[in-house]
Amino acid sequence: MIEAVVFDLDGVLLQTEELWDEVRETLAREHGARYDEAAQRAMMGMSSLEWSRYMHEELGVPEPPEAISALVVRELEARYRRRLPLISGAVEAVERLAERWPLGLASSSNRELIDTALELSGLDRLLRATVSSEEVARGKPSPDVYLEAARRLGVAPARCAAVEDSHSGISSARAAGMRVVAIPNASYPPGEEALAEADVVLASLRELTAAAIEGSELVKKL
């Protein structure tokens, strides 16, 4: 029986993967560092501590990791305030599930960006617990961020459902022992192997209903 639902942020509620990619690539190239598709995919799901270290050590950005993270966050926050890239149906989906369950959020984003996005969207009023992966030991695909979200909600992980879009996120929620509802992001879709780990795969947030969360009706995998 599901007693709480935990959302991912980037790729599920916000269409931000392209923004993250653009901002980090610009920073890397401004410093003469390399940046390619492999680097982008490697950083998906990493915590800020992990990806900023990766950019410094693996991509060759000379700034220290703390400075790299701060520069990226400052640029992304400015863009959010100009236009928050909410995915269509995001607010309605969260409102719909909030009528039934306590909600949490488990995100790889920095705390400042989580708080800014939730404030601007008004979703902060609906989420009882939010966790940034910079607040736990390991980022996704490790289960830490989802386990911490369940702890803050006061619900056993096995009684939580997670809503995810990416390979690392699906693996993270599965490793935490949660029911996994996948909504593949069109820009950076997870592979078939990752989708096979999900309990159900939906086409969009419009399909994210109580029945899909509970599995009380048959939902065909894509």
Domain ranges of the chain: 4-15+86-214, 17-82
CA distance 53 to 46: 10
- Of 91-95, 193-197, 217-221, the range with the highest mean pLDDT is 91-95
CA distance 178 to 144: 12
Torsion of CA 24, 26, 30, 33, to 10 degrees: 50
Given this model, what pLDDT does residue 91 score? 98
Q: How far is CA 122 from CA 33, 93, 131, 172, in A?
A: 38, 13, 17, 26
What are the tens digits of pLDDT across the range 120-134? 999 999 999 999 999
Q: Is the pLDDT of residue 218 over 70?
A: no
Given this model, what pLDDT does residue 216 score? 62
pTM for the model stands at: 0.90
Given this model, what pLDDT does residue 221 score? 47
What are the tens digits of pLDDT across the range 59-69? 999 999 999 99
Longest Cα–Cα distance of the chain, Å, equals 53
Given this model, what pLDDT does residue 222 score? 47
Q: Is the pLDDT of residue 46 over 50?
A: yes
Residues 18-43, mean pLDDT to the nearest whole number:
93
* Strand, coil or helix: 88: coil
Q: Is domain 4-15+86-214 annotated with CATH 3.40.50.2300?
A: no
Give percent of the chain with pLDDT exceeding 90.
Answer: 87
**Domain 17-82: assigned CATH number:** 1.10.150
Q: How far is CA 90 from CA 12, 29, 124, 163, 220, in A?
A: 8, 33, 13, 12, 21
Q: How far is CA 136 from CA 19, 61, 108, 155, in A?
A: 24, 25, 10, 18
Q: Is the pLDDT of residue 183 over 50?
A: yes
Residues 82-95, mean pLDDT to the nearest whole number:
97
Q: Is the pLDDT of residue 24 over 90?
A: yes
Residue 181 in contact with residue 198, Cβ under 8 Å?
Answer: yes
Q: Which of 43-47, 69-73, 94-98, 118-122 has the lowest mean pLDDT?
A: 43-47
Q: Which of 40-44, 137-141, 152-156 has the lowest mean pLDDT?
A: 40-44
Radius of gyration (Cα) for the chain, nearest Å? Answer: 17
Given this model, what pLDDT does residue 40 score? 87
CA distance 122 to 119: 5
